[in-house]
Amino acid sequence: MNLRDVFVVNVCSIFCLLLSYGDCNNSEFFQSNHTNNWAVIVDTSRFWFNYRHVANALSFYRSVKRLGIPDSQIILMLADDMACNPRNPQAASVYNNANEEIDVYGDDVEVDYRGYEVTVENFIRVLTGRLPENTPRSKRLLTDERSNVLIYMTGHGGDGFLKFQDTEELSSDELGDAFGQMYEKLRYHEMLFIIDTCQAASMLHRFYSPNVVGIASSRVGEDSLSHHIDPAIGVYVIDRYTYYALEFLERVKSQGTETLAQFFAVCPREKCKSTVTTRTDLFQRDPRKVLVTDFFGSVRNIEYSMDPVTPLQKHHGSAVDGQIKDESADNISYSYLSQFPSF
């Protein structure tokens, strides 16, 4: 074995260790087959006493950004602007913990739909792509058949519905049909749907599209409870399920090996005070072998090979009638197009 072979073997060994896959088998890396990640994060509640729902949504927003999904691939819908609410003692800030260690509003939040733009109609239009022609790119879910999509929703709900703005409701039938349209229009590869609301499991019952996995913070007939209050703010700042989900996500790294099955178990009943429910019958992969970052991150797969690669021989010219024509002598000048061309 020469020096070059030793170098290649060492590099491959280090690569395997970094990715925490002992046998470095290709099948262990590329199971999802998706090429891009998107997230739709929705808070459906208005009014100051629903502060926690905005904090829930912003907390998930912060997590997916930290793990690599860019703002250009996140649709953030906030029904109320708690950061600018006159009751907020911490102006221009939103906290999800009484210690106020992390301002989840921060200085780089890009809200795509805010206030009265957060409606059932707009939400369905975003998912199905049926938006007016003049809708800006930042408000569009530009997914395709290789997109893994994370949808997180929080607010007040009941048996078979989720309230929007206290004025209208999204039904479980409407949600299931929206996912059905997305499947027919090749708008996702796999989808993870998470909902934190009372009787949340009822919103999973009408799903029928393939490759959709659902997580609900409570069963039918159960309330989804708040976690704790911040005395300085005077209201609850986060819900129980979201609190423990974020506690798990904060430990996840972009190259982590945490699985979806582990994520299912983040909030047992003794912590949540409700029964977290999952639906996996439509999902074609084993959640124990699905990485959390398949939905929460934006990791680009890198293919490697242990086989030697022979580079193509370079030649300056083209083949004409079996003969190589040398084009190096041709004096061809190139120039860049103007950044702002005039027509």
Instruction: Specify the pLDDT at position 124.
Output: 98
Instruction: Specify the pLDDT at position 214.
Output: 98
Instruction: Specify the pLDDT at position 29.
Output: 45
Instruction: Specify the pLDDT at position 263.
Output: 98
* Displacement of CA 11 from its chain's centroid (Å): 32
Task: Give the Å distances, CA to CA, from 276 to 61, 159, 207, 214, 241.
Answer: 21, 15, 17, 11, 8
Q: Which residues are catalytic?
A: 156, 198
Task: Give the Å distances, CA to CA, from 269 to 224, 244, 317.
Answer: 11, 12, 71
Instruction: Specify the pLDDT at position 309.
Output: 63
Non-local (6+) Cβ contacts of 123 within 8 A are: 42, 77, 164, 170
- Tell me the pLDDT tens digit for each residue of 276-318: 999 999 999 999 999 999 999 986 656 666 777 665 555 455 5
d(CA 339, CA 38): 30
How is residue 37 written in tokens?
């990640």
Instruction: Specify the pLDDT at position 145.
Output: 95
Alpha helices in 109-238 (DSSP H): 120-128, 172-184
Give 60's strand partners.
Answer: none
d(CA 232, CA 230): 5
d(CA 183, CA 122): 19
How is residue 197 written in tokens?
């609301």
Q: Could you say which residues of the chain have pLDDT below 70?
A: 1-31, 299-305, 309-343
d(CA 25, CA 27): 5
Instruction: Specify the pLDDT at position 2.
Output: 47
How is residue 153 written in tokens?
């929703």
pTM, 2 dp:
0.81
